Amino acid sequence: MDIWGSFALLLALVAAVYAVVAGIAGIITRRTLLTKSARNAGMAVGVLVTLAVGALEYFFFTNNFSMAYVAEHSNRALPPFYKFAALWAGQEGSLLFWSWLLSIYAFLVLFVNRNKHPELMPYVGVVLAGVQTFFLTLNNFVASPFSVMAGGDAAGVMHVAKLAEGHGLNPLLQYPEMVIHPPMLYLGYTGFTVPFAFALAALLGRYPGEKWIHITRRWTMIAWCFQSVGILLGAHWAYAVLGWGGYWAWDPVENASLLPWITGTAFLHSVMMQEKRGMLKVWNIWLVFTTFMLCILGTLLTRSGVVSSVHAFAQSSIGDWFVGFLALTFIVCFWAYWKNRDYLRSDNQLDSLVSRESSFLFNNLILLAACFAVLWGTLFPVLSEWVSGSKISVGPPFFNKVNIPIALFLLLLTGIGPLLAWRKTSFDALRRNFAWPLGGGVLAGIIAFVFGFRDIYSLICLILGVFVTLTIFSEFFRGARVIAARDGTNLISAVGELTMRNTRRYGGYVVHFGMVLIFIGIAGVPFNRDIQSELSPGQSLKIGPYTILCQNFDQLANGNYESERATLEVFRNGKSEMMLYPERRFFLASQVTETMVAIQTSPLRDLYVVYAGRSPESNKPVIHAYLNPLVKWIWFGGLVVVLGTGLALFPNRRAALVLRPATEQSWSDAVTASASRMGAVTQKADAND
């Protein structure tokens, strides 16, 4: 019984290797039977890895503490919810989880496209199986999640040992978000393998046209969306759990998750250049290669402690495997590119600096700069030790100095870019599209300034945020007005109709709006306040409009932890407003103390209270209170981003046939006009984005 997990994992590796070998043989010999069997092997990998994951979960739920991984990361009293999540609590399980998600993606890709693209899919299958082979090798031979506890007896014979109780799950992971956050992030990391596989496959097979981009658009967006959600959930976890009052510290592991997100974002934008204008082919191929390699690098940074070792304390040999795999990936990518570089020749040239093309180019340039800066800052300890022998790390000031201007410039492009025409935009069109939004933004800036808003970056962020929001709303309004006038419907249903006609464009706007909300939330940071004070029962502290009165401290205990809890009453303008209960929990199985933050959240500000421990001098309890404005906007913005991505995934609804031509050819009106024209001519409404 205990053996079938590792057996399934071994078979999965065999199947993956077979899928690579038979796939290549099938491509060379052009035998459909071989290709088919390679594909079936690729799909079998998914089934086998799922079995292995099922086995490991079974061990968790049956408290099988003879399994080393289970003993290390679980205990009997652990709630079932967390027993499930313990799967990805450590190295071995995380890597198995990676393989599993990847194998699910691969299964779906192979299954969905089983009767399509016969020239392309064999290559895709080989690339996917190649990546799987690497991870399954790690799962089987380097970091096996199925090792058993063993001990030698007096005669030196090894026996399987079984612990009575496990060490318990790391308390930091015992939060509901930690059950969702890693899967989201890993779904992002692994999901980028799909566009990578298609890009490499198209290059290797010299697959004609931009078809691979059309095929992978939705896959890329799904991976991007998971990655975004994963990053935000991670930030929220750091905020709600770690108790330092912030959500982003430019920690190497955080940066690792941001890097592929940045290049993925760049890729999602720059593929439009290739689809519409046949430009940037080399760039796009390399962007998707880079994104994949950054995903691997991210996993390497997260798993190996290469960089974190500056402030964490462990290294593991797994790093070498990842470095080797990264090098191999780069060599294969470069070889494929060099061999087929003539296939990537551009169809068009840049026509004007004020055009959609150039806004995309700047968008990409600036995203790549951000990516490079973050990568450089993250790897600097390693690089500096390598070059000069002394390990130097850079802190948040470096990352903020570079990335804040970049982010603001991106925000500006978010407003401008979508409204510029392809090729060249006239001055008149600029004035018509931007006068009002820009006026609105500046007005908002002036009002904020008058009300004592002085932080320059936040002020710019506010102006740009209002500007972008207004451009987005005016786009919806102008498009909807045309539909409403023509169909005689009201404006609200016209907005719905408009969105469904071109989900990609209008879903994209919703994503942009979500990003604006996130930016506004981040712009609240300069206005954060915090105060720390010793607080015995009966004493109080003041922060902003709030007075926090300490009522008492009490102790609680259950099978999993013992906790000490403060009861705080919060007053505002002399009136009692709420009770907060910050807590410190001592987890019995792992012998670790963790803090439970009490957060009172509202759209305007969060009151964030931490029971920080006892003062070393007086042994009195210390309460640390933070007042963080606008943080909630970030999480809400994340929801809007997800909604927008969801919209953009929908297929376009076909436009109704219209015989009356549109009178005004302003940019946004042209959307509906040309959509209906194309609908009339080609019955295809996927125009103008």
Partner 1 sequence: MNVRTKFLIGSGIIVVTLISLAYVGFTQSKTYYHTITELSTLQGASLHQRMRVSGNVRNGTIQHLPGRVDFVLTEQGKDMMVSYVGRDPLPDTFKDGAQALVEGRMMPDNRFVAEQVQAKCASKYEAAPNQTPATAQPGQTSSGSAARPSGS
**By C-beta, is 218 or 391 nearer to partner 1?**
391
**By C-beta, is 77 or 249 nearer to partner 1?**
249
Alpha carbon 677 to chain centroid distance?
Answer: 38
| Cβ atoms 626, 528 nearer than 8 A | yes
**By C-beta, is 72 or 689 nearer to partner 1?**
72
CB of residue 588 vs partner 1: minimum separation in angstroms? Answer: 14
**By C-beta, is 207 or 453 nearer to partner 1?**
453
Q: How far apart are CA 149 and CA 67, in angstroms?
A: 6
**By C-beta, is 47 or 163 nearer to partner 1?**
163
Q: How far apart are CA 91 and CA 302, in angstroms?
A: 9
One-character DSSP codes across 190-229: HHTHHHHHHHHHHHHTT--TTHHHHHHHHHHHHHHHHHHH
CB of residue 346 vs partner 1: minimum separation in angstroms? Answer: 12
Of 249, 250, 251, give the one whose Cα is nearest residue 239.
249
| CA distances from residue 339 to 130, 154, 331, 489, 528 in whole angstroms, order as listed | 20, 62, 12, 56, 54
Tell me which residue has tokens 């955080």. 254
For CA atoms 29, 30, 33, 37, the dihedral sign is: positive
Q: How far apart are CA 566 and CA 517, in angstroms?
A: 34
Q: How far apart are CA 351 and CA 670, in angstroms?
A: 21
**By C-beta, is 65 or 237 nearer to partner 1?**
237
**By C-beta, is 35 or 359 nearer to partner 1?**
359
CB of residue 468 vs partner 1: minimum separation in angstroms? Answer: 20
**By C-beta, is 129 or 623 nearer to partner 1?**
623
Alpha carbon 578 to chain centroid distance?
Answer: 35
**By C-beta, is 310 or 680 nearer to partner 1?**
310
For CA atoms 273, 274, 275, 276, the dihedral sign is: positive
Instruction: Fill in the DSSP letter of residue 155.
Output: T
| Cβ atoms 337, 203 nearer than 8 A | yes
Q: How far apart are CA 376 and CA 262, in angstroms?
A: 14
CB of residue 139 vs partner 1: minimum separation in angstroms? Answer: 15
Of 315, 259, 334, give the one whose Cα is nearest residue 291.
259
**By C-beta, is 128 or 178 nearer to partner 1?**
178
**By C-beta, is 72 or 475 nearer to partner 1?**
72
**By C-beta, is 375 or 568 nearer to partner 1?**
375
**By C-beta, is 398 or 473 nearer to partner 1?**
398
Long-range own/partner contacts, residues 111-114 (CB < 8 A, 24 or more apart): 111/43, 113/215, 114/39
| CA distances from residue 285 to 3, 196, 226 in whole angstroms, order as listed | 43, 8, 22
CB of residue 148 vs partner 1: minimum separation in angstroms? Answer: 16
CB of residue 43 vs partner 1: minimum separation in angstroms? Answer: 30
CB of residue 306 vs partner 1: minimum separation in angstroms? Answer: 11
Alpha carbon 437 to chain centroid distance?
Answer: 30
Of 321, 390, 249, 346, give the one whose Cα is nearest residue 98.
321
Q: How far apart are CA 60 and CA 76, in angstroms?
A: 9
**By C-beta, is 32 or 315 nearer to partner 1?**
315
Tell me which residue has tokens 């690792």. 256
CB of residue 480 vs partner 1: minimum separation in angstroms? Answer: 35
| Cβ atoms 507, 644 nearer than 8 A | yes
CB of residue 514 vs partner 1: minimum separation in angstroms? Answer: 21
Give the tokens for residue 304. Answer: 């190996």
Amino acid at 580: L
3-class DSSP state of 608? strand
Q: How far apart are CA 519 and CA 326, in angstroms?
A: 33
One-character DSSP codes across 33-87: HHHHHHHHHHHHHHHHHHHHHHHHHHHHHTT-TTBHHHHHH--TTS-HHHHHHGG
Q: How far apart are CA 80 and CA 215, in angstroms?
A: 39
Instruction: Fill in the DSSP letter of residue 355.
Output: S
**By C-beta, is 108 or 142 nearer to partner 1?**
142
3-class DSSP state of 656? coil
Number of C-beta neighbours around residue 337 at 10 A: 18
Q: How far apart are CA 479 and CA 495, in angstroms?
A: 8
**By C-beta, is 94 or 228 nearer to partner 1?**
94
